[in-house]
Chains A and B, each alone.
Chain A
Amino acid sequence: MTDFLLELLSEEIPARMQAKARADLEKLFADQLAAAGLKAESLQTWSTPRRLALIARGLPETTQAVSEELKGPPADAPDAAVEGFLRKAGLTRDALETRDVKGRATLFAVIDKPGRATADVLSEAIPAIVRAFPWPKSMRWGAASQTTESLRWVRPLQGIIALLGGYVVPCEVDGLVAGNTTVGHRFHHQGAVTVSGVEDYADVLRAAYVIVDHEERAKIIRDGAAKAAADAGFALIEDEGLVVENAGLTEWPVPLLGRFDPAFLEVPPEVIQLTARVNQKYFVVQDARGALAPAFVCTANIAAHDGGQAIVAGNEKVLAARLSDARFFWELDQKKTLEQHAEKLKAIVFHEKLGTVADKVERVAKLARWLCEEGIIKPSPLQGRGGSREAAEGEGQSPTSAQSPLPTLPSEGERAELANLAEQAARLCKADLVTEMVGEFPELQGLMGGYYAVKEGLDTQVAAAIRDHYKPVGQGDDVPNAPVTVAVSLADKLDTIAGFFFEEMPPTGSRDPFALRRAALGVWTTISANGLRLHLQTALTLAIAFYGKRIGAAGADLVKAYRAAKEAAGLEFTDADLAEARAAFISNNLSDEAKSAMIVGRVRPAVTAILDFFADRLKVQQREAGVRHDLIDAVFALGGEDDLVRLLARVKALQGFVETGEGTNLLAGYKRAANILKKEEAPSPLQGRGRSREAAEGEGQSPTSAQAPLPTLPPEGERALQHEPAEIALIDALDKAEAAADDAIAAEDFEGAMAALAELRAPIDAFFESVTVNDADPAKREARLNLLARFRAAVHRVADFSKIEG
Chain B
Amino acid sequence: MILTLHRFWSSHGCLILQPYDMPMGAGTFHTATTLRALGPDPWNAAFVQPCRRPTDGRYGENPNRLQHYYQYQVILKPSPGDIQQLYLDSLTAIGVDPLLHDIRFVEDDWESPTLGAWGLGWEVWCDGMEVTQFTYFQQMGGFDCKPVAGELTYGLERLAMYIQGKDSVYDLDFNGRGVTYGDVFLENERQMSAWNFEHANTESLFDAFKKAVAECENCLDAKLPIPAYEQAIQASHVFNLLQARGVISVAERQAYMGRVRDLAKGSCQAWMEKNGWAA
* A contact residues vs B (CB 8 Å cutoff): 11-12, 14-16, 49, 137-148, 154-156, 158, 186-188, 249-250, 280, 282, 298, 300-302, 304-306, 310-311, 313-315, 317-321, 324-325, 328, 347-349
Selected contact of A318 from candidates B65, B127, B147, B150, CB within 8 Å: B127
Selected contact of A142 from candidates B99, B147, B249, B250, CB within 8 Å: B147
In the assembled complex, B69 has its CB within 8 A of some CB on chain A: no
Residue of B nearest to A143 (CB): B78
In the assembled complex, B271 has its CB within 8 A of some CB on chain A: no
Quick one: CB contact mask for B100-132 with A, threshold 8 Å, 1 for yes?
A: 111111110100000000011110001111000
Quick one: CB contact mask for B138-169 with A, threshold 8 Å, 1 for yes?
A: 10000011111010000000000110000100
Decide if A49 touches B105 in the complex (CB within 8 Å): yes
CA distance A148 to B145 in the complex (A): 8
Selected contact of A139 from candidates B98, B136, B161, CB within 8 Å: B136
Decide if B84 touches A11 in the complex (CB within 8 Å): yes
Decide if A321 touches B101 in the complex (CB within 8 Å): no
Q: Which residues does chain A contribute within 8 Å of B88, judged by CB atoms?
A: 186
- Central interface residue in B102, B146, B161, by most chain A CB within 10 Å: B102
Decide if A147 touches B120 in the complex (CB within 8 Å): no
Selected contact of B129 from candidates A143, A145, A318, A348, CB within 8 Å: A318
Q: Which residues does chain A contribute within 8 Å of B120, judged by CB atoms?
A: 137-139, 154-155
Decide if A302 touches B79 in the complex (CB within 8 Å): no
Chain B nearest Cβ from A302, distance in angstroms: 6
B window 61-109: CB within 8 A of A: 61-65, 78-81, 84, 88, 98-107, 109
Residue of A nearest to B122 (CB): A12
In the assembled complex, B3 has its CB within 8 A of some CB on chain A: no
Chain B nearest Cβ from A454, distance in angstroms: 25
Known contacts A146-B78, A298-B128, A314-B162; A347/B84 CB under 8 A: no
Q: Which residues does chain A contribute within 8 Å of B62, judged by CB atoms?
A: 321, 324-325, 328
Residue of B nearest to A315 (CB): B128
Q: Which residues does chain A contribute within 8 Å of B251, judged by CB atoms?
A: 347-349
The 28 listed contacts between A and B (C-beta, < 8 Å) are A15-B107, A139-B138, A142-B147, A143-B147, A146-B78, A154-B120, A156-B81, A187-B98, A282-B128, A300-B102, A301-B102, A301-B104, A305-B100, A311-B101, A314-B126, A314-B128, A317-B161, A317-B167, A318-B127, A318-B128, A318-B129, A319-B128, A320-B63, A321-B62, A325-B62, A328-B61, A347-B249, A348-B250
CA distance A431 to B251 in the complex (A): 17
Closest 3 CB pairs of A and B: A314-B127, A14-B107, A347-B249
Beyond the given A249-B106, A321-B62, please list 9 additional residue pairs across the A-B interface where CB-CB is below 8 A: A12-B107, A137-B109, A139-B119, A139-B136, A145-B148, A155-B120, A301-B103, A317-B167, A347-B250
Decide if A141 touches B79 in the complex (CB within 8 Å): yes
Chain B nearest Cβ from A284, distance in angstroms: 14
Q: Which residues does chain A contribute within 8 Å of B104, judged by CB atoms?
A: 249-250, 301
Chain A nearest Cβ from B163, distance in angstroms: 11
CA distance A248 to B132 in the complex (A): 20
Q: Which residues does chain B contribute within 8 Å of A49, judged by CB atoms?
A: 105
Q: Which residues does chain B contribute within 8 Å of A156, judged by CB atoms?
A: 79, 81, 136
In the assembled complex, B259 has its CB within 8 A of some CB on chain A: no
Decide if B81 touches A142 in the complex (CB within 8 Å): yes
Residue of B nearest to A250 (CB): B104
Chain B nearest Cβ from A112, distance in angstroms: 47
Decide if A140 touches B126 in the complex (CB within 8 Å): no
Q: Which residues does chain A contribute within 8 Å of B121, judged by CB atoms?
A: 155
Chain A nearest Cβ from B276, distance in angstroms: 16
In the assembled complex, B245 has its CB within 8 A of some CB on chain A: no
Q: Which residues does chain A contribute within 8 Å of B129, judged by CB atoms?
A: 314, 317-318
Chain A nearest Cβ from B52, distance in angstroms: 19
Chain A nearest Cβ from B211, distance in angstroms: 25
Decide if B148 touches A139 in the complex (CB within 8 Å): yes
Q: Which residues does chain A contribute within 8 Å of B136, judged by CB atoms?
A: 139-141, 155-156
Decide if A145 touches B105 in the complex (CB within 8 Å): no
CA distance A306 to B97 in the complex (A): 11
In the assembled complex, B58 has its CB within 8 A of some CB on chain A: yes
Decide if A141 touches B128 in the complex (CB within 8 Å): no
Q: Which residues does chain A contribute within 8 Å of B100, judged by CB atoms?
A: 304-306, 310-311
In the assembled complex, B40 has its CB within 8 A of some CB on chain A: yes
Known contacts A137-B109, A139-B120, A311-B102; A147/B146 CB under 8 A: yes
